[in-house]
Structure 1
Amino acid sequence: MSVKILLIYTGGTIGMIKDYETGALRAFDFDKLLSRIPELSHLNCDIQSVSFEKPIDSSNMNPQYWVRLLEIIESNYKEFDGFVILHGSDTMSYTASALSFMLENLGKPVIFTGSQLPIGDLRTDAKENLITSIEIASLQKNRQPVIREVCLYFEYKLYRANRTTKINAEHFEAFASPNYPPLAESGVHLKINHDMLIRPARRKIKFHKDLDPSIGLIKLFPGIDREFMASILLNERIRAVIIETYGAGNAPTEEWFGEVVRQAVKQGKHVVNVTQCSGGRVMMGTYETSTHLKKAGVINGSNITTEAAIAKLMYLMGNGVGAKVFRTIFETPLRGEMD
């Protein structure tokens, strides 16, 4: 019995094909997938596809579309063995991170992929990304999926989705996972790093659709002032703020900075410390320049990415996590997003 894979097209470069007479890009007809990519017939799986009613550029992605994507997976979860989601690369890490939290007790593979060049281009990376993503999603052992988490596949590497960030707009190697090794690597052989995979408890899957996007994001820079910080931290419409700090979680020690942060925390806002470095982690209290943040009640983001921190905040606030336990739960790994 062949494995059933659902291909979900949200939009993005991978789903475009060039009309060589006009040079214009048009949407690819996924019903004709096998005729365009006959190599897929060699995979032992039955591939079906569904597309957003109106495919979108990933720059327009938002939490409402994340819920729509979740609903597609929910309505097809029992019928299919795995899911491959085609998505524009610009916000792929945000969407993939969000889905990792929205899918609790996931027992099947959900693989995000895309491309830097359209599927019809001569030098496209779309075919390899698509073929290998489907192959990985169809992997089974003892009739059970090998992968049981949300992943992102790009340029010969499979990553845990909520560990990724886009690092390059031109190279085929567009993504990186600075603080966690690849889950798989594709070369002459497909090598799965089994020790790196999540082994979820065999519990009933839960689909979480409530998200709260009342979040602010501040990236520190030399010269940042009180007025700017206060405009975000003390904004009454914002419930949580991520501060991208320097190095291992360091920030200015000027009195006004600490005072604004303390005031925000006293107002009940969730303030998260995330490093703006691509790799490494926040270690509040290691240096004097972060001790004041720890004392103020700032949440330690450890080595979580900004994309995953945003998704985790939306998920926790949307699910009504109380103020007394919020910090503890955020600082606890829920889907392998931090350690």
Structure 2
Amino acid sequence: MKRKVLLIYTGGTIGMEKDYETGSLRAFDFGNIFEKMPEMRLMECEVFVHPFAKPLDSSDMGPEEWRMIARLIFENYKEYDGFLILHGTDTMSYTASALSFMLKGLTKPVILTGSQLPIGDLRTDAKENLLTSLYYASLYENNEAVIQEVAIYFEYKLLRGNRTLKYSAEYFDAYSSPNYPILGQSGVHLNINKDNLLRNTNKESFYIDEHLSEDVLFWRIFPGMKLNHFKEISQMKVLILQVFGSGTIFSSEKTLETLQQIRNNGTEIVVVSQCISGGISFGKYENSNIFSKIGAISGTDITAESAITKAMHLMDNPNYKGTFAENFSKNICGEISN
């Protein structure tokens, strides 16, 4: 039996081709993808294409587009065995992270991929990314999907979506998962690290939770920063501070006073690290104790992209019991290490 995969094309470099008259890149009609890539007809799965009416640059992707993708998956969940989302690379980690929180009880693969060069370029990475992603999106064993989570496939590596970040705008190997091992790697064979895969242990039925609050602000701390700017953000419900190392910030009475004032205004403060690898550890250094004093939340080893989308999903979400701090500290779908 051939597995059925729904390919959702949102936009991005992967769907571009060069206009040889102008030299500019333009989106091509994804309805003609089988003419552009006849190799797809040789796949051991049936591919059905659903392009966005207007392809979007990934910088234009946001909460409403995340909801659109989640709804498409929900509406077609019973009909298809897997889902492949073609996406621009700049914000793919945000979309993958958001979807990981929104898609509940997932037991089928949701794979995102893109490319650094357009599909029509002679040296493109688009074809390999697309074809291998289709393999992963249709991979079943004993009538059960091997991948049952949101993942990103890029340059021979399958990665947990909410653990990824784009670290290169130059190289084909553009994504990394610094705090979680890879899910799989493609070579002569498609390798899967099954011990690293997520499973729906609660056996809950699939549904979507579209809740996303936009009252979230991300702020990177830097040496010499004037904290009086913080007084202007008192209306934000969540402030994510990206601080130094394992959780340090310049220590002074003014710092404590300002952050405490923000907390007193009802704003939740989440602390994440500027380091790509490793995470937050309150108390490791004296200059991190300030966060314990004000009741800030440790993001541990979460990525910035995942912290932002997790906060958006949790803030004021009536579907979660307990406080924001309690829920943010939980490992919901593999986004932090236990």
TM-score class, shorter: over 0.9
Query: What's 2:216 paired with?
Result: 215
Query: What's 1:47 paired with?
Result: 47
Provide the alpha-carbon RMSD of the alignment. 1.4
Within 5 Å, which residues of 2 pair with 1:1-339?
A: 1-201=1-201, 202-232=203-233, 234=234, 236=235, 238-320=236-318, 325-339=323-337
Q: Which amino acid aligns with 1:6?
A: L
Q: Could you report, residue by residue, the CA deviation over 1:221-261 in whole angstroms, capped at 9, with x for unpaired residues?
A: 110112123323x2x2x110000010001111111111111
**What is the deviation of 1:139?**
0.3
**What is the deviation of 1:322?**
7.7
Distance 1:88 1:80 in 2: 23
The normalised TM-score by structure 1 is: 0.96
Distance 1:273 1:211 in 2: 20
SS in structure 2 of the partner of residue 274 of structure 1: strand
Distance 2:141 2:225 in 1: 54
**What is the deviation of 1:32?**
2.4
Q: Could you report, residue by residue, the CA deviation over 1:257-312 in whole angstroms, capped at 9, with x for unpaired residues?
A: 11111122222211000001111010011111011111210001000001000000
Distance 1:204 1:141 in 2: 20
Return closer, same or farther for 1:116/1:318 CA change in 2, 3 Å cut-off. Answer: farther
Q: Could you report, residue by residue, the CA deviation over 1:136-189 in whole angstroms, capped at 9, with x for unpaired residues?
A: 010000111100000001111010000001101111111111101110011111
Distance 2:296 2:195 in 1: 33
Paired residues, number: 336
Q: Is the 8 A contact 1:8 1:84 kept in 2?
A: yes
Q: Which stretch of structure 1 is more off in the superposition, 325-334 or 123-132?
A: 325-334
**What is the deviation of 1:70?**
1.0
**What is the deviation of 1:108?**
0.6
Q: Could you report, residue by residue, the CA deviation over 1:124-143 in whole angstroms, capped at 9, with x for unpaired residues?
A: 00000000000001000011
Unmatched runs of 5 consecutive residues or more in structure 2: none
Distance 2:257 2:321 in 1: 21
**What is the deviation of 1:79?**
0.6
Q: Is the 8 A contact 1:268 1:323 kept in 2?
A: no
Q: Is the 8 A contact 2:228 2:258 kept in 1?
A: no
Unmatched runs of 5 consecutive residues or more in structure 1: none
Distance 1:174 1:46 in 2: 29
Q: Could you report, residue by residue, the CA deviation over 1:302-328 in whole angstroms, capped at 9, with x for unpaired residues?
A: 000010000000100151378962212
What is the percentage of aligned positions where both structures have the same residue?
Answer: 49
Q: Which amino acid aligns with 1:135?
A: Y
**What is the deviation of 1:331?**
0.8
